[in-house]
Each structure stands twice: as structure tokens, then as C-alpha cells.
Chains A and B, each alone.
Chain A
């Protein structure tokens, strides 16, 4: 690890100012991702700006929905009574992630910003366009079991590893950020991006901006929701595939549906076509299967991850079936 400077800030403005003065610095929240990357030599910020003292830990419900501060701890969110009652999909997704120890340290802002777990990204002796633009994509013809089946490019087939973000994509959250030019809001599905020709950028956060929080609009998805995560062991493993499903039902008819997948793309993958298809339909395995088929349009495998083409639709159907019970 390379020597770095360290400062602690206690206001959003101070945080943004310090970063503006130290453009090669980096915010540190829980540190569960950033410190790993520094130890591996993937990133070497010259200054760590500790934002844990910022007053951005609040979780509160308003008439418009739920607002969560960027520094709220993952487990505080998933254990919050309001979240469990009115936003259960979010709690389920959070609890499916990492381990209790990590969830006790990780923040919501850090979770949004966590970087891919692609092993080529982590090993600085291997090529990776995300880490070192122009060096090539090690995973494309390499070991790509964990990699994307949607929206990848020949420059990068990495996936975004977060579970929480899959639920947030389904729940249409909005992210609030603060930067040198003031505050702005970013729609969740516009936040993370596809790799295209520039995989070095994970998201649309502009240089110098700080995430201050996020909002989830009030929604009817309190009962028929499920977060299905298929992984290589029962806990403490990233998703091979995950599906966030939420249904609003009247009788057996679907009034409203939300679906998003994790472990399949460079961003949480919202399945809007499938959602549209389901609205007005009977909630049945048959219709879920059709919705899953729609979802898989355009999917492609890269070798080791070909199984995801088969596991994907199965997981979607299963997540919807589970949301029913």
C-alpha cells in the first residue's frame, strides 16, 4: 500500500471542498471495498477523505417515500422497522449480501460505489480495461464464470456485484449527490452505466461529487416481494444470478410488477419489458415463464458463464413464484 494523506470532514461542503483541492483523493466510508483495492494496488488515492463524520446516517419515511442517508450502515437499513415493513425487498437484498461483519461496516453510499469483483480487475499483473484502459479485457476469453450476459462490450464483461442495488433498481430509487456545482438527483437506472468503450467509468457520478443519500418513492410492494440469490454457498458469496421481484396483485391479477437482476450486467439490470408484459396478466407460472423469456432477449454467454442463459430465466420464474407466497 502506498502512503497517503488522511483528513476527516464533518460537513458535506467540507467534503466536496477537500476533494476539489485533492482531485486524486478519495472518500472513504466503511472502507470494506476501498481498502481492499488499495492493498491489491488496484487504486492508490493520495488522500483519504473520511466522511464517516457527516450527518448522513438518517433513515426516515416521509409522505413521498423513504429517504436514506449515504452513510447509513447496511445493517441499520436492513434492520430498520420501517424498511422491513414498507420496503421489505430492500431489506431482503441487503441481507443477502456479504456477511454480517461486512454489513455492519458497509455504508449505502459505499455499496452503490463498490467496484466489480472481476479477478482480472483485481490482479494488476493481468490485463483489464477497467483498471488500465487499453490493456485489454482478461475475462473476455478468460475465466468468466461470474461475468455479464447483458449489455457487455468487447472491452469489458464485468458485472456490478451489489445486491442492494438490484432492489433499488426495481424500486426506482433516486440518488442525491452534491458537488462543486451544487446538488443534483440521478435516477437509479441512470446511475450505473454499461461499459461500452470506456469501462473505467462504473457510473455517472461526476468528478468531485459526493453521494448524500437516496430516496425510494412510496410503493405498493410490501407483501409480494422476493430477493432470490443463487450463489456457490449458502452465505458470503457474490451472486451467480440474483433476481428482485415485486408484485402488486388484485386477486390473482398483476396490477404492477417490478423485476431486476444482479450478477448479469455492468449495472443492476432492470427488466422493464417483462414488467410491462406482466401487468394485467394472471399471476401464473406460465406467464412468469413468458416474462422470463422476454427478459433473456439479447443475452449472450462468454464460455464459463453460458449457464447463466439457462439459470437466468429459471431464477426469474422462481423469484416471481416466491413473491407469491
Chain B
């Protein structure tokens, strides 16, 4: 990115860039302590049943082994025990999986033991010697089978939504009814999940853990082991990607804590790539039926969206797959239905653009099909149904610049110069197609605490218990503080990743910048106030109108307070503090959540994609991507752009490659490795052009930004699938769209 560009506002490079590329950044598996031991899990080979016998002798006698923990000898955890009665009262689908507490097998590759040894290799070997015998029960890992013969989970999350009249599409002048399916997908961040555990006695522990949320990791560990929160310190200095996989405190982490406490030594546990498929969640498979009705002139009259997804037999996971269909377009009649079916698999979890990504694939593909049915340009069709207020809540939007985003993308990719006719554009043997899809994702603001210390030497230290899975939170917060506080970014230290710091927000749901940005904004404004106070009575700054200086009278720039009405009157922050004999200013800021009583807030993205499809071999190449995004004000352009580029890469993978495959006969994964589970490589990704509307949201927070980590991938798969249709004239309604589906 060109720093001298006049069209892009100034940005800063990643503050963690150098440590990351030079290797000095420490990830959770990279902490070493004297006497370190290693934990490796042994796992079940069946998908459902009970363990009838465990032979751990071989493992226990293997060289270097210090302990083998199974359900037979696992110390009871107060958090698991005290709730046992309570658990029994819960429906089976919400009991959760408590590692090593019983002999029940709930999914294949469930951890059944942890082996602790003095080296990693010895632990791996010993774990391979553990032999379990099972009583097998009939399992089901097949969503289609569950829909046919099983029962969906019941509960409040599954109430049908009806606005206006249900199934109104049926009476429309023009209508379509289609079904889309997508497989389960796995986050697969580059950094595998790992943790290093260091107990001090039995009641105090420091955990270096890969997490997106320090505070709930801290409290879940404390709860399980019956400890006080303050006796559990969680440190996460760096996270090598997560995409949602690092919210939960997963069973392998509890297993590591159990193992480490048992041997009384610092312990490290690193999952393998294969374990990343079964231990830390995935995006659930979903089958979606969607029907759209419209008048001949392209006004929507009804949308019906039904989603059937999966969850684990022991834990319900729900997400807003059908929610986008209620709010993306102005349509008087909308009804949605959402069902999840329990399967004998490990539990799904949030994955980038949770729910909305799945839903928008169906909705935005169907909108394209409908546009063709109406003989309307897909953009024109969307504009005719543009929602000026939120159709779901009837509240005004805090801000909405989706129209602007459509236009930016249309201009950039020269949308209107294409031939709209399917299969009409060619380049030799390659068919060319243009497609678009849009995405919507809730914007919100939670509460957060941040502490600030401003020193006389001009350094501002900010501390908060947030972690950064990659978007560049430290960078954007540094940029924000630099802009607000008027000192160079190089003088700001943003310290995070430690539960001893004041609790920050979790990282996810596209709320970190909005939430933490508010706290950082407020704390900077409050230090400004304190600084202004120091010169309140300084006669130099007094004028005919000003007898006592207030922050509003001042400009805070380059480390100086400058009188706005007479810029010749100024004083550096340092001098103001020296004069007042103040070595430092310290503040703790707690910024509250914004309940958004009178508005609804969303971020939007519109993706335009050009593909080439080989007319003979069916090979698809994405040749151009333009994503136009309304995410409110952009705090730091470079890292924001990277978020959207990353989303495009994920979106290309999702549409063309990603597919978790289970052999339902065994209930076992067959492609749980990086050779068989494909994600895009560089050669699959063209230049991704990112455009931001960059207009502040005036309601959500004082910094004006809405959030973009999730929305960048929402609607992307539809854009690619629609482009493939435009290129080939063929609708493939099943992801991933691989070459064999196009020949």
C-alpha cells in the first residue's frame, strides 16, 4: 500500500510486524520453563459408545512417561462435580463434554487419555500404546440422515420467525424456490492450538493459551478447577489466526491443566493439524431452502428461508444462519425457520462471519437467480428493494452506506460493461463470468476497561486484557490513540494479552475495534482533560474570552496543547506536567456497552468477482476481486484492507475448495490434514481490490467505526458462485464448486 497516496488517509504499519517476521513474537507453544514436560492425547476410534476397558500399562511403562490420566484415575474437578446434578437435569444436548469424567464416547477422536512425558516424542509414542476396548453404539454423523430419521433440537432458539404473511412468495408474480448445501468447514488457522501450563502448587496457575478471550478462558478454568479467578492468569501475547476457533476453553486445554497439576511440572500441549479438525470446532454443515417472490417489476413480496444445520449430540450450537434474510432487503413478508440436528461429532462453533456467511451464500445466490428470473440486473434488483430502515426492528439504522458501496464496486469493476447474458463472454477456451453478492453483519459495542499511563517523557502506555488473533488490534488502537492524543504512534505502547490487565473485550463478532476503540478514545480524551486542567489557570492561555482553559479551547497536536483561537500560544504536554510537578498521569477507563435502544447497526460488504471457467476441464480461476465495504470510519487503512483481503482468500477457499469429509460408516474424518483439506494457495488468489466507504457511524461509538472482520466473508461465496453461473450458464447449488461439477 502506498503511504504517499492522496486518496488513502494516513495509516501505520503493524506494530507487531517486526516481532512476527523476526520470530521474537512468542506464541502459546513457544514458552519454555525448566523441567518442562509434554502432554499428548490418546483418542477414541469409534464415534459413539462406551469404553469397556483401558490398557494403559504399555504407556505407563514407556520411557520418559510421568503420568497417564484417563476417566478411571482422573482427579475430580470441582467445577465438573458440583454441577453433576445440575448436568443430569439438562437435556442431553446441553450437557457438554467434560473430559475424563465418564466412559462415554460422543465422537470419534474424542480424547480418552492424556500422556505426560519428558519429551514430546516420548509422549506421542506412549499415547500410541494406549489401547481401549469399546461397546459400540449405533452412531450417526450424517446430516441428511438426521433430517430424514432424526429429530431437531427443541428450544427457544428455534422459534419460527414470521413478518407479515408466511410463505407469501407462493402467490407472487415471479417466484423461485431453490436449495443450497454447504459442507462443514474447519477454521484451520496457521497456528495450531497449543497451551503451556505452569502451576504454582495446586491452586494457582499461569496458562499461556491460544485464545480470543482472556476473561472467559480465565473464568472457565477457574470454574472447572474451583479456583478464584485471580489465581488463574492467562497470557496470550500473540495468536496466529483463529477465525473463531479460540473462544471456547476446549477439552484439550482442561486435559493439559489436569496433566500438569498431576505431575507438578510445567507442561506444554500442542495439537496436531489432524486434531485441529476434531478438537476446536468447525463451521456446521447446512442445507438451506430459500424461496423468493417478487412482482414483475422486481419488488420483493416474500422471502422464506429455512436452514437445517448440525450440532453435537452433547452440546447445542446455534448461529444466525437465517437472520440476514430478515434484514438485508425491504420485504413485507419474510418467514424463517432454523433447525439443528444433533450428530455424533465434536461440537461446531463460531467461524468467521458465523451464521451470516452460511445464510448469505443462500440468500445472495437466490437473489441472483431471482434477478435472472426477472430479467433484471442483480444490482438494480437489489436497489429496488433497498431497506431505508431496518425491516426487522423498524428502527432507523445508525448508519447505512450500502448504496455507496454498490456504486463504488460497480464503477471499479465496470459492472455495467459486461454482457449480462450467461455464457456470453469468452477468452479462448475460457468462459468469463461476473458475479456479485452482499453481506450484512451486526455492529455493536460492548464494555471494556483500559488503563493508561502517560509519562513525562512523552510515552503513553495503554493496557487492556484483549488478545489479537491477527487483525491488528494493537496497531489500530495505537493509531487511534495517536490521532486522538496527538502524539506519534512510536511513543505509544499498547500492552495486551494478559488477564492481569484490566479486562478488555473478547476478540470476535467484529466488535473489538468498536468496543475497545471507545475505551481508548475515552481514556485519551480524559488524559487530555487532565492535561488541560494543568494549564487551566496559566495566564499565558487566557484571553478576553478565556479565563479558565478548558479542553474544548485547545488543540492537542504533536505532543502539545495549542490554543485553538491563537495557535502561537502552546505548551508541550511534558512542560505542562513538569510545571505542575506531575511525573505521570494514570487513569483507568471503563467504557460501557451501547445498548442501541433506538437504532440498529450493521456493517455491509459488497463483493464483485470475475472468474474464468475452462470450458473443457471445468477448472475455475478467480481473476479479479473488488470488495466495497461500509464499516464506518476506517481506523487504520492498511490493517483494515488486510482484513478484507483475508476474507476474500477465505471466501475463495469456501466456494471452490473447502469441504470437511466424514466417512459416515465409521463416523470418522477422512480429510483431516492439509494435503486433503484444501484452502486457497497464492496461485488461487488474484489481486484483491478493497474499497471503503469510510464514513463515520454517528451513533454506535465516538470513533465512528462499525467493524469488518466478519462481514468481509459474508456474501463472498455467492459472488463467486454467481460469477460461475454467469460464465457457464450452470447453477451449482452445492459447495465447494469443484471442476468435476462443471464438466
Contact = CB atoms under 8 A, between A and B. Distances in A.
B699 interface: no
Interface residues of B, number: 34
**Which of B108, B121, B616 neighbours the largest number of chain A CB atoms within 10 Å of its CB?**
B616
A240 B671 CA distance: 15
B678 A237 contact: yes
A23 interface: no
Contacts of A101: none
Given A119-B676, A138-B663, A230 B619 contact: yes
A154 interface: no
B125 A3 contact: yes
Given A119-B671, A143-B670, 6 more contacts: A230-B617, A230-B739, A233-B678, A235-B684, A237-B675, A238-B675
B617 A126 contact: no
Contact of B668 (A2, A125, A141, A232): A125
A136 to B, nearest CB: 11
B45 A125 contact: yes
Interface string A164-191: 0000000000000000000000000000
Interface stretch (A55-63, A77-85, A206-214, A310-318): A310-318
A142 B670 contact: yes
B670 A1 contact: no
Contacts of B681: 233-236
Interface string B364-404: 00000000000000000000000000000000000000000
A233 B656 contact: yes
A6 interface: no
Nearest to B740: A307
A1 B125 contact: yes
Nearest to A125: B45
A297 B715 CA distance: 44
Nearest to B128: A41
Interface in A230-262: 230, 232-238, 240
Contacts of A123: 668, 670
A213 to B, nearest CB: 28
**Which of A3, A41, A125 neighbours the largest number of chain B CB atoms within 10 Å of its CB?**
A125
Nearest to B679: A233
Interface in A194-220: none
A317 B429 CA distance: 13
Given A120-B670, A125-B45, A314-B617, A232 B661 contact: no
Interface string A1-37: 1110000000000000000000000000000000000
Contacts of B618: 230, 311
B413 interface: no
Contact of A314 (B616, B675, B682): B616
A103 to B, nearest CB: 14
A117 interface: yes
5 closest cross-chain pairs (CB), A and B:
A307-B740, A234-B683, A125-B45, A119-B670, A235-B683
A307 B739 CA distance: 10
B125 A2 contact: yes
A318 B429 CA distance: 10
Contacts of A119: 670-671, 676
A1 B663 CA distance: 26
B657 A232 contact: yes
Contact of B676 (A117, A311, A318): A117
A122 B683 CA distance: 27
B738 interface: yes
Given A230-B617, A236-B681, A307 B670 contact: no
11 contacts: A1-B121, A41-B128, A117-B675, A138-B663, A142-B670, A143-B661, A143-B663, A230-B618, A233-B657, A233-B683, A315-B617
A307 B684 CA distance: 23
A233 B617 contact: no
A233 B671 contact: no
A123 B656 CA distance: 26
Given A314-B616, A314-B617, A317-B616, A233 B680 contact: yes
Nearest to A232: B678
Contacts of A120: 670
A142 B657 contact: no
Contacts of B661: 143
Given A232-B657, A233-B656, A233-B680, A240 B740 contact: yes
Contacts of A41: 128
A142 B671 contact: no
A307 B678 CA distance: 19
Interface in A275-324: 307-308, 310-311, 314-315, 317-318
Contacts of B665: 141-142
B11 interface: no
Contacts of A1: 121, 124-125
A41 B678 CA distance: 23
Contacts of B621: 234
A105 to B, nearest CB: 15
A64 B45 CA distance: 54
A173 B23 CA distance: 46
Contact of B743 (A141, A234, A311): A311
B593 to A, nearest CB: 42
B80 interface: no
Contacts of B666: 125-126, 138
B704 to A, nearest CB: 39
A317 B656 CA distance: 24
Nearest to B666: A126
Nearest to A236: B681
Interface string B607-636: 000000000111101000000000000000
B301 to A, nearest CB: 39
Interface in B654-695: 656-657, 661, 663, 665-666, 668, 670-671, 673, 675-676, 678, 680-684
Given A138-B663, A318-B616, A318-B617, A307 B743 contact: yes
B37 to A, nearest CB: 18
Interface in A138-153: 138, 141-143
B65 to A, nearest CB: 14
Contacts of B670: 119-120, 123, 142-143
**Which of A232, A310, A317 neighbours the largest number of chain B CB atoms within 10 Å of its CB?**
A232
A236 B740 CA distance: 18
Contacts of A228: 617
Contact of B617 (A138, A236, A308, A311): A311
A252 B304 CA distance: 59
**Which of A1, A123, A237, A314 neighbours the largest number of chain B CB atoms within 10 Å of its CB?**
A123
Contacts of B616: 314, 317-318
A228 B616 CA distance: 12
A315 B617 CA distance: 7
Contacts of B739: 230, 232, 240, 311
Interface string A122-135: 11011000000000
Contacts of A237: 675, 678
Contacts of A318: 616-617
Contacts of A308: 740
A33 to B, nearest CB: 11
Nearest to A237: B678
Nearest to A238: B675
B139 to A, nearest CB: 14
A234 B684 contact: yes
B621 to A, nearest CB: 7
A198 B560 CA distance: 82
A122 B663 CA distance: 14
A3 B739 CA distance: 43
A230 B666 CA distance: 30
B740 A233 contact: no
Contacts of A238: 675
Contacts of B741: 307
B738 A232 contact: yes
A24 B670 CA distance: 29
Contacts of B657: 232-233
Contacts of B656: 232-233
